[in-house]
Structure 1
Amino acid sequence: MKNKSVEFIMDGRRHRHRRWILVTSILAVISCILCSAMLILGNTIYPMKDVIRALSGEQIQGVSFAVNKLRLPRMLAGLFAGFAFGIAGNTFQTMLRNPLANPNVIGITTGSSAAAVFCIVILHASGAVVSIVSVIAGLATVTLIYILSRGKSFSIGRLILIGIGIQAMLNAVVSYLLLIGAERDIPAALRWLSGSLNGSQMHELPPLVISVILLAPIVMMLGRHLNILELGEQSATSLGVDTDKTRMILILSSVCMISLATSTTGPIAFVSFLSGPIAKRLVGVGYSNVIPAGLVGVNLVLAADLIGQFAFVVRFPVGIITGIIGAPYLIYLLIRMNRKGEL
């Protein structure tokens, strides 16, 4: 009887492992297809062989400029920003055991946004300055939210409510900055606030790329500990997890990635909110969905950008398309949580 039970458990584990590999592989293939489409499609559609020749450094009239200067930076910005948004959103939702506890809803992204708008409108700065200030503002925002939510004991519900309040306050700050800003700076700030890949430049991408390359593996390595944290503080401690240290590393890594992603592309709506639940539904339980959540984020950003560029007569920024997708899900989630008494 015991051997049958062990065999049943091992069969279930192997099934979940095969499902994880299959889902992750499919998401990766879709990401590659969308990346290729970003390079091929535009005002002029280029054959893949010409795109590859242009990327390899061969000079082809018209193709080299369009691919290397316009489409490649746009694709890389969407790729790395989507991966950062997906991983960071999943990390916060899993760690805090609440689908509402993502950087968009609790104000972390808004903190980075307010700092970036201040740099654009008041300081007339760009590039590295915006990236550094956005990271500092993101860390300051999450620290403030955490301190205010402590009280006599830490409460996830209190953290979410305080985060929503901080978000509202920071949105007011953004509105004030736009009101007092110079007229010539307002269009750029508004375009950036909507979440857009338009005008992405190669020289703006290194901070985001480096942060994802360095920090995403850290979150992946802590993926098992992240799943254990979902069981609660006492359970995680009893299983040998240093909860304070693990939580601090995860928070710092996620905030740095999402702050740099926000400073590069603007606050692309609902990507961090949607990626984790979609990945969890696809992968199931039993295995870390950090990588699938990052790939879902990539697919959401790239697919939404392609839809915004080519599906309508007027071209829309990627953030508007993801907002249209994410808003109904947020309403559905709030209704469901209210019925379960979780609000």
Structure 2
Amino acid sequence: MRGTTLRRGGLSLRVDTRGMVVGLLLAVAALGMGVVLVGTGDFPIPAADVVRTLLGEGDPTQDFIVNELRLPRLLVGLLVGAALGLSGAIFQSISKNPLGSPDVIGFSQGSAAGGLTVIVLTQGSPLAVAAGAVVGGLLTGLAVYALAWKHGVHGYRLVLIGIGASALLGSVNGYLLTKADDLDAARAVAWMTGSLNGRDWEQVWPLLWSCVVLIPVVLWHSPALRMLEMGDDSAYSLGVPVERTRTVMMLASVLLLTAATAAAGPISFVALVAPQLARRLTRSPGPNLLPAAWMGAALLISADWASQRAFGSDQLPVGVVTGLLGGVYLVWLLATERKAGRI
């Protein structure tokens, strides 16, 4: 399907029909998997009963299980997946590189380092750990941006400096783990794996408000971000404030990533994979922000379901599943890029 042009009076609007349809289907898939996920557990609930309970027509037992125990986990999963998908789409668009993902260029490691510092050095509460993850991600973003700056921030320089920052921060995280006592080390490892287990409304509300504030900012700058993919000179000629747009979008992307990490720990590879799968489905140029967000949500919810059902009685943290699948995808991506002569 090709784009459609809508005209009214002297105004015209170009609509990407295929992108809209793909985004809608991904949204339906994410919400459908969410219903399946809510019905999964030691007390299984049929999908029809889940929907009926969400609409306020379930019995008291189902109402407690669905709305109090499982719905917060679902909402955190949807919001974290959407935030990671958006963050990855922004960074890949800015860097013009499929490896330009927060997982690869150090921002996820920075958030992990912030949370890990709070756990190991202060034995802080979950709220303090979340704040540490936000601060760590922001400081990492500022450092990488400053080091990558040379008459502007360009794609490969950003990726290379980010990879170096990721390696350095990975070593810092390893050192912090060696300094922790057994209890703090176990807590830190569990947090760094990334998990939706035990998530409640305390994690939902901060993440929800972060998305409510940041997603409109990202979508407002989406046309300018698309023009940036044509190159700085072309964007300048079209009236785009290049550095301001790049700075705002990078800041929004880092904040989305840190909010997601604060809520669920550092979940790997969703930010790398979701934007690329969305772009392959839409077959559209540009960052494809909304399809990437829904793809991230669908991937994370599906991975969480698999972590509960695919390994028998041994439930894995969702970060283990995304890391396994994402690692396979990364190897395939590197092989494809090398074959095409781009690396």
- Give the corresponding residue for 2:173: 174
Taking only the aligned residue pairs, the percentage that are identical comes to 37
1:317 aligns with 2:307: no
Please give the alpha-carbon distance, in whole angstroms, between the structure 1 residues aligned to 2:37 and 2:121: 34
Distance in 1 between residues matched to 2:341 and 2:228, nearest whole Å = 22
- Provide the C-alpha distance between the structure 2 equivalents of 1:58 and 1:167, rounded to a whole number of angstroms: 49
5+ residue gaps, structure 2: 6-14
**In the alignment, what sits opposite 2:12?**
none
Residues 255-306 of structure 1: CA deviation (Å, up to 9, x unaligned): 1111010111111110000011111111122565100000000010000010
SS at match of 2:16: helix
- CA shift for structure 1 position 56: 5.9
Does the 8 Å contact 1:196/1:318 carry over to 2?
yes
| CA–CA distance in structure 2, aligned partners of residues 12 and 53 of structure 1 | 38
CA distance in 2, matches of 1:23, 1:52: 24
Identify the residue that residue 337 of structure 2 maps to in structure 1.
Answer: 337
- Counterpart Cα distance in 2 of 1:114 and 1:17: 40
- Corresponding position of 2:90: 91
Distance 2:61 2:342 in 1: 56
Kept in 1: contact 2:214–2:256 (CA 8 A): yes
Instruction: Please state whether the residue corresponding to 1:185 is helix, strand or coil.
Output: helix
Cα drift, residue 214 of structure 1 = 1.1
Partner of 2:4: 14
Q: Residue in 1 aligned with 2:37? A: 38
Report the counterpart of residue 254 of structure 1 in structure 2.
Answer: 253
Task: Please state how far the C-alpha of 1:235 moved relative to its aligned partner.
Answer: 0.9
Farther off after superposition, 331-340 or 136-145: 331-340
- What letter corresponds to residue 335 of structure 2 in structure 1? I
Map 1:34-113 to 2 at 5 A.
34-48=33-47, 50-51=49-50, 54-55=53-54, 60=59, 62-113=61-112
**What does residue 220 of structure 1 align with?**
219
The amino acid that maps onto 1:326 is G
Distance 1:154 1:28 in 2: 33
- How many residues end up aligned between the 2 structures? 333
Structure 1 partner of 2:140: 141
> Where in structure 1 are there 5+ consecutive unaligned residues?
1-10
Alpha carbons of structure 1 residues 238 and 230: separation in structure 2 relative to 1, 3 Å: same
Are 1:29 and 2:19 an aligned pair? no
Distance 1:95 1:18 in 2: 24
Q: Distance in 2 between matches of 1:196 and 1:303?
A: 13
1:155 Cα offset (Å): 4.0
1:149-185 CA distances to partner (integer Å, 9 max, x unpaired)?
2357744222212211111111111112211112112
User: In 1, distance between residues paired with 2:52 and 2:152?
Assistant: 60
**1:120 Cα deviation (Å)?**
2.0
User: Per the alignment, do residues 54 and 13 of structure 1 end up closer, same or farther by CA in structure 2, a change over 3 Å counting?
Assistant: closer
**Rounded Cα–Cα distance in structure 2 between residues aligned with 1:161 and 1:286:** 24
Contact 2:73–2:200 (CA under 8 A) maintained in structure 1: yes
Contact 1:196 1:266 in 2 (8 A): yes
- Displacement, 1:57? 6.5
Structure 2 CA distance for partners of 1:215 and 1:152, relative to 1, 3 Å: closer
Alignment of 1:195-210 (within 5 A): 195-210=194-209
Bigger shift: residues 198-207 or 154-163: 154-163
The aligned residue for residue 9 of structure 2 is none
Judged with a 3 Å threshold, the aligned counterparts in structure 2 of structure 1 residues 152 and 210 are, in CA distance, closer, same or farther, namely closer
- The residue aligned with 2:8 is none
Q: Please say if residues 81 and 297 of structure 2, whose CA atoms lie closer than 8 Å, have aligned partners that are also in contact.
A: yes
Name the amino acid aligned to 1:14: T
Tell me the distance in 1 between the aligned counterparts of 2:250 and 2:110.
Answer: 15
1:153-302 aligned within 5 A: 154-286=153-285, 289-302=288-301
Is the 1:102–1:272 Cα contact (8 Å) retained in structure 2?
yes
The answer to whether the 8 A contact 1:17-1:287 is kept is no
- Report the alpha carbon displacement of residue 221 of structure 1 after superposing the two structures with TM: 1.9
User: Partner amino acid for 1:338?
Assistant: R
**How far apart, in 2, do the equivalents of 1:84 and 1:93 lie?**
14
Aligned-partner Cα distance in 2 for 1:182–1:58: 48
What does residue 10 of structure 2 align with?
none
1:129-152 C-alpha deviation (Å, 9 max, x unpaired):
333332222121111112222357
For residues 102 and 69 of structure 2, the distance between their equivalents in structure 1, rounded to whole angstroms, comes to 29
CA distance in 2, matches of 1:19, 1:167: 36
Structure 2 CA distance, aligned partners of 1:262 and 1:247? 22
